[in-house]
Every structure is written in structure tokens, then in C-alpha cells.
Amino acid sequence: MVAPVVLITTGGILTNALLGAYSLVGAHMREMTRERLGILGGERGELLDADRIGAIGQERLTEIDAQLPMMLVHYGLLRRAVFVMYVGLVLLTLSVIGIAAAVETDSEAVASVALGLVLVGTVDVLVGLALAVRTLAISANAITYAVQRIGALRKR
């Protein structure tokens, strides 16, 4: 009973952290989208042509256009990681109920199902963590791109 409970607690903490990252990435994408509209919007709300946008505005649009697709992939992976982690937590919770039922009924069959739920739930949580780790590389790519792009401006 202790192992699934520890896994549930740990998984819950990790899932909460992933939800925080998911929210931050979403907020940052909304902010970048608003910034893009601000650059493209004229004084009267019209959509400006590229020749009416200054060099800095065009540079920022290029950066946003390159970063947003990376961030969308990051966002999608975080969403999948959270979902997979939640499924794992549900399976682990069901395993605790199964263990209690197996002890109460002294049933080997129920105990086997409970053990299976622990194993599948644990693997599920690990898959969720693997997805979360993958998001780190994508996040690093987006940040590295922005830093290198800005660094290249001084060299022009």
C-alpha cells in the first residue's frame, strides 16, 4: 500500500509543476500573439503592410513567427504529459482500492489486478515524465533561437 501512495503523492506534485509550466507557456504564447497584433496594427485598427513596419518591428515579427511554432509543440507535449500523468494517478489510486479489497476478501485474483494497476500506473507516470523531459529540449530551442537572433543584430 505504501508504494502506490508514495507514487500518487510524487506524481501529484510533478503534475502540479507541469500544470504550472503549461499555464506559463500558454500565457507567453498569448502575450506574443498580442504583441504580434500590436506590431501589425495601425493607429486606426488597420492591418499594416510590411513596408509600413519599422526594422525592429519586422525583426520581432520574424522572431515571433519562428518561436510560436516551437512553443505550440512544447505546449502540446506538456498537455499530453499532464494527461498521461493524470491517467497514471487514477490507475495508482485504483490500485490502492484494489489492494484494500484484496486484503479484505483474501483474494489472489483481486491482488493480481491491484498489482497490475500499480505496474501500469507506474509506467504511465514514467511516460508522462518522459514527455515532460522532451519539452525541455523544445523550450531550450526556442530560447536559444531568440538569444542568438538578438545577438546577431549587433553584428550587422
What are the tens digits of pLDDT across the range 109-150?
A: 999 999 999 999 999 999 999 999 998 888 888 888 888 888
Question: Which residues are within 8 A (CB) of 41 and not within 5 positions of it... i.e. 6 or more apart?
Answer: 47, 48
What are 77's three cell numbers?
A: 507535449
Distance CA 25, CA 20 (A): 9
* pTM of this structure: 0.82
pLDDT, average across residues 65-81: 94
Domains of the chain: which residue ranges?
A: 2-26+68-154
What are 82's three cell numbers?
A: 499532464
83 membership: H or E segment, kind and range: helix 55-105
pLDDT at 78 over 80: yes
